Structure 1
Amino acid sequence: MGDRALYESEWLESADRMTNAAIAHATGGISPTSVAMDLFGWMAHLASSPGKQFELGQKAVRKALRLGRYAATCAADPGAAPCIEPLAQDHRFEHEAWQRFPYNVIYQAFLLDQQWWHNATTGVRGVSKHNEEAVSFITRQVLDMFSPSNIPFFNPEIVQTTLAEGGANLLRGAQNFAEDLRRGIRGEPPAGTETFQVGKNLAVTPGKVVYRNRLMELIQYTPTTASVQHEPVLMQSAWMMKYYILDLSPHNSLVKYLVDRGHTVFMISWLNPGPEDRDLGLEDYRKLGTMAAIDAISDILPDRKIHAVGYCLGGILLTIAAAVMARDGDDRLASVTLFTTMTDFTEVGEINVFMDAGEVTMLEDIMWQKGYLDHKQISGGFQLLKSADLIWSKMVREYYLGNREPMFDLMAWNADGTRMPYRQHSEVLRRLYVDNELFEGKYMVGGRAISISNIHCPIFAVAAVADHVAPWHSVYKLHLQSDATELTFVLTSGGHNVGIVNEPGRPRRKFQMATCKEGERCLDAETWKAQTPVTQGSWWPAWDQWLTQHSSGGVTPPLMGAPDKGYEPLCDAPGTYVYQK
């Protein structure tokens, strides 16, 4: 009877999971229950706040009067100053035609309306922070969808272009839309990605795969200098994307940059998991990924410490591995470098709207059904965080103006994602984002908790000021946990990817950099930003100099692999795992 009850319980739970997964497929992974609860909670609290209602009514009247005065003024004086300016990151109304009547009144009305809704969805007594962020996010998605910039006869640039080209732009846009629709149905990558091919013009830095297991390939890059630093560099990216963001085209490859400056570089290339890998967890990625690579490098280059580098989720995994090594007395790391890596998940920016119980459960049920989370579902969520730029403005450019956005290497890489196993991604969501176990010292490895404060080797942390995936204030919180001999923090221009692919010679690049040594008082994030000098250009040379300063001098370049120890080169870089679809 007990076995039958267990069977029925599992069957019923499976039915719930399948239903939830089916709903997720219909909604694009958005939990309608979570959305409904967020909206109901906000409306219920607003309904019981007569003071807030009165304030919003006053604001609505004042904004209507401001718009009326502006419309009357600019009808007679086209150069009249606008009554509201777009936010700094809002570029939808920059075209000069928006300053002509009546389009100036149209976009001003939208901005005032947008501001009113921001007031309406924030500052309501009794609404939780998460609820407020979720409702504000939902509201912005709706407003962005119905922005006058997206409506052809309200957008003067579309009207002007259509008249000038006799509608040819709309024909090109229809062709672009048809091609994108066809590619989407067939599961093909975006138009133009075929111009960029791994092993031909992407990921072409010479090297050899010197080790392989079921989860990763370890690439060793061919030296190009007469001598190299004694300590090698091990790099690992997030397993949700292909590693070659760090080895894009030759002109912006961070790998090539390091190799050409005398560093021996190793790279982890992750497997693209399938349904059979559903039970791979974070501990598997630590053991078979980071630690297996460190063990292999220690065999190939014995008695040498390693500069370990992690990017995004790869940085989180490296932090966990480094903390375990420090706890267990393993001192093989010369330094730790973290690119856009959060160790505290209390404030994760707007991605937090996808981290409530309903959303996490829905993601888990999608993964439970397939055995993995598909890259398209991940990238779709990130696009929503910046929908005005990544969805609607792109639609206007390519479908209404008929201007296909030129493909470039970083976009091609972004379209070449990997899947994430069910168990591992569920652990990332639950243990890190929801329960914040790593920052709170509750993350267990081998039955014992680990602590970031045990990592005493030098740390170099890079954050990006416009990062919407790993907000720089959250990345900066590493200062609250670190007991490293020194922590060098860099805040660079750009976002999550452009901030890292930041090669020298690009215009408008800048960064701030300061070091907090052991025993020194660290500043809060905003004071640090206000007091730290700004340096023009790329942060790459500063990091190269930092790595050199924390190395022990030059030696003869090593051989590729170590055939006498079982590390026979298996194939040329970029290996085989990077080609998996």
Structure 2
Amino acid sequence: MARENKTNGAGNQADSTLHQYFAKDPERLAQNLARALEELGKAAASWTQAREQGEASDITAAPLADMIRTFSRVSEYWLSDPTRALEAQTRLFAEFMGIWANAIRRMSEQDVSDYIPTAANDKRFQDPDWGRNAFFSFLKQAYLVTARWAVHLVDGADELDDVTRHKARFYVEQMSQALSPSNFLLTNPELFRETMASDGENLVRGMRMLAEDIAAGKGDLKLRQSDSSKFKIGENLATTPGKVIARNDLVEILQYAPTTKNVLKRPLLIVPPWINKFYILDLNPKRSFIRWAVEQGHTVFVISWINPDERHARYDWADYIDHGIRFALQTIEAATGEKQINAMGYCVGGTLLAAGLALMAAEGDERIATATFLTTQVDFTFAGDLKVFVDEEQIQALDTAMHQRGYLDATRMATAFNMLRAGDLIWPYVVNNYLRGQAPLPFDLLYWNSDSTRLAAANHSYYLRNCYLENNLSHGRAVLRGKTLHLEDITIPIFNLATREDHIAPAKSVFIGSRFFGGPVEFVLAGSGHIAGVINPPEMKKYQFWTGGEPNGEFEDWLATADEHAGSWWPRWQSWILSKDSREVKARKPAKNKNTLGEAPGDYVRIRA
């Protein structure tokens, strides 16, 4: 009798678990599915209408063709030898047989582990039914086995050149992320249960958001990663007090109000990237590098780039240097009377600053006394996964698309950056937004990340060709204003910061770039990645940084002997700045006795793509 009760209890528990996967109200579910399809039709209509009206132009053909060519090279290696092909097929078949045998064991034995263990940090498969439900467990393990097998095909293709292997690995990772069973309604237990529990209401909300996001992207998907209604620039983002003291058709120059009685004699000019906006350095009071620098006694000036449109189509790097950096230097001298400054460049803003310094060195312009580069590449030999998108065919396709409007649409570059971390920045939001039907939470960093910028055609084409494709800047072949640029002509002191987990400017790439400058270089490696490693206030007491000898030899050798320090690199940078010139003057207020052009953060930063 006891055994019978135990069996009935187990059966009732199983029935209760399975009951979650059945519709509570089939009629209501059918109605909601019809409503979801209607919303999906609106999304498709927005996508189609944008292309019919010429508001969106597809430039995905070149990347897709490149992916097909790359996979064809991998397939050619394995299929050219019947023995190798049979070996690859046998390996996959054996793995599936292992999963099958494991599933049979789990039917008769307890505490049988998965054939392929799931990584503890893999957030996709945290739901208990990925392990306890035979159907979903099999799907998960079949997926993991196939993904691992695909990686082996790439790594085992001995005849591939390094470029093709790099591309193949990247494309395999993108395909693996996209085809994960966690991304589909019928193969994700959590999504399936939620859909049944709400009778499909989640899909109605999700498809409505999808239609809104395609409309907002003017025919392209503008993936929402944060609740944008909770943020407003100048109110709870970019709030450090300051003034707009100069403006032209490309930039606004911001000067921030001092908070100390005295300030350093040399002002600080920050050259941010024009891909995304400068306020990553002034995100909120607790994480603002700009506010912190002001508190350390710097007179801080920032270039705020305009979000370009067709008017800026022909602006190349020389124009960005002239109308951006040189204009800022003239503005600073007029505002402070100082003829020498400290300059800081972040990401591609640093690359532009390096090119500008080389051009100014050739002209005898010595207004910049020190330069700080934050996650900046000047040599692109090891530039990471972004190189996957840069070859002659893809650049030609981009040039053609940009020529039509004069700029690259903001969503294109944003998508490329998100693909570098698709498992964190794309698919979780696709699942949460469009299948679960839940709006994302407010998060200032992700709001900034989605506040994308257009890219002026001539500027972007010069960048891709001279840096990523031909690596001209570090090899003395880049030309601006008729002058060939030589980084070795830059003999001023350099503070060069890399971050250890950077997907955009890999630490090894930044390290190697140090050797091309002609003066002393202080190389520092910060923990975390491209954003968190840079925006790391001392008060947060997070991460660490490494310092060592001169950045010579191999990066791995330098790191092996480097000294690790807890916390933020910011105080280390401040000490470095003071070691170059610690003279002070009375604090300078923005545009004293003059009419300013408005309050910081200005107008240009508010222009949304």
**What is the TM-score of this pair, normalised by structure 2?**
0.83
- Any conservation in 1 of the 2:59–2:398 contact (CA below 8 Å)? no
The structural deviation recorded for 1:320 is 0.8
Secondary structure of 2:533's counterpart equals: coil
Match of 1:537 among 561, 567, 578: 567
Question: Which residue number corresponds to residue 415 of structure 1?
Answer: 450
Question: Which residue number corresponds to residue 48 of structure 1?
Answer: 80
Could you list the runs of 5+ residues in structure 2 that have no partner in the other structure? 1-50
Separation in 2 of the partners of 1:529 and 1:53? Answer: 41
Root-mean-square deviation (Å) = 2.8
- Any conservation in 2 of the 1:462–1:492 contact (CA below 8 Å)? no
- Any conservation in 1 of the 2:195–2:201 contact (CA below 8 Å)? no
Match of 2:172 among 123, 139, 150: 139
The structural deviation recorded for 1:441 is 1.4
| Identity percentage of aligned residues | 31
Match of 1:503 among 537, 546, 553: 537
Secondary structure of 2:123's counterpart equals: coil
- Any conservation in 2 of the 1:173–1:403 contact (CA below 8 Å)? no
Secondary structure of 1:404's counterpart equals: coil
Once the two structures are superposed, the pairs formed by residues 134-533 of structure 1 within 5 Å of their partners are 134-159=167-192, 161=194, 166-167=197-198, 170-172=200-202, 174-187=204-217, 190=224, 192-303=227-338, 305-493=340-528, 495-506=529-540, 509-517=542-550, 522-533=552-563
Question: Which residue number corresponds to residue 570 of structure 1?
Answer: 597
Separation in 2 of the partners of 1:27 and 1:150? Answer: 25
Q: How many residues in Structure 1 have an aligned counterpart in Structure 2?
A: 551
The structural deviation recorded for 1:428 is 0.8
Q: Which amino acid aligns with 1:388?
A: G
Which entry has the higher C-alpha Rg, 1 or 2?
Answer: 2
The structural deviation recorded for 1:23 is 13
Q: Structure 1 residues 486 and 139 mapped into 2: Cα distance closer, same or farther (>3 Å)?
A: closer
The structural deviation recorded for 1:62 is 3.7
- Any conservation in 1 of the 2:382–2:509 contact (CA below 8 Å)? yes
The structural deviation recorded for 1:28 is 4.0
Greater Cα offset, 57-66 or 87-96:
87-96
Q: Residue by residue, what CA displacement relative to the aligned partner does 1:203-244 show, whole Å, maximum 9, x if unpaired?
A: 111111112222111111000111112221111111122211
Separation in 2 of the partners of 1:550 and 1:83? Answer: 59
Secondary structure of 1:572's counterpart equals: coil
Q: Does 1:91 align with 2:123?
A: yes
Once the two structures are superposed, the pairs formed by residues 2-21 of structure 1 within 5 Å of their partners are none
Separation in 1 of the partners of 2:473 and 2:118? Answer: 39
Q: Structure 1 residues 340 and 86 mapped into 2: Cα distance closer, same or farther (>3 Å)?
A: farther
Q: Structure 1 residues 328 and 55 mapped into 2: Cα distance closer, same or farther (>3 Å)?
A: farther
The structural deviation recorded for 1:523 is 4.4
Q: Structure 1 residues 65 and 231 mapped into 2: Cα distance closer, same or farther (>3 Å)?
A: same
Question: Which residue number corresponds to residue 108 of structure 1?
Answer: 141
Q: Residue by residue, what CA displacement relative to the aligned partner does 1:438-462 show, whole Å, maximum 9, x if unpaired?
A: 1111112343322222222222222
Q: Which amino acid aligns with 1:503?
A: P
Q: Structure 1 residues 457 and 346 mapped into 2: Cα distance closer, same or farther (>3 Å)?
A: same
Q: Structure 1 residues 290 and 328 mapped into 2: Cα distance closer, same or farther (>3 Å)?
A: same
**What is the TM-score of this pair, normalised by structure 1?**
0.87
Q: Which amino acid aligns with 1:437?
A: N
Q: Structure 1 residues 265 and 420 mapped into 2: Cα distance closer, same or farther (>3 Å)?
A: same
Could you list the runs of 5+ residues in structure 1 that have no partner in the other structure? 1-18
Q: Structure 1 residues 105 and 527 mapped into 2: Cα distance closer, same or farther (>3 Å)?
A: farther
Question: Which residue number corresponds to residue 68 of structure 2?
Answer: 36
The structural deviation recorded for 1:433 is 1.0
Q: Does 1:549 align with 2:583?
A: no
Q: Structure 1 residues 340 and 76 mapped into 2: Cα distance closer, same or farther (>3 Å)?
A: farther
Separation in 1 of the partners of 2:590 and 2:59? Answer: 50
Secondary structure of 1:68's counterpart equals: helix
Q: Residue by residue, what CA displacement relative to the aligned partner does 1:551-574 show, whole Å, maximum 9, x if unpaired?
A: 3233210232366xxx75222211
The structural deviation recorded for 1:178 is 0.7
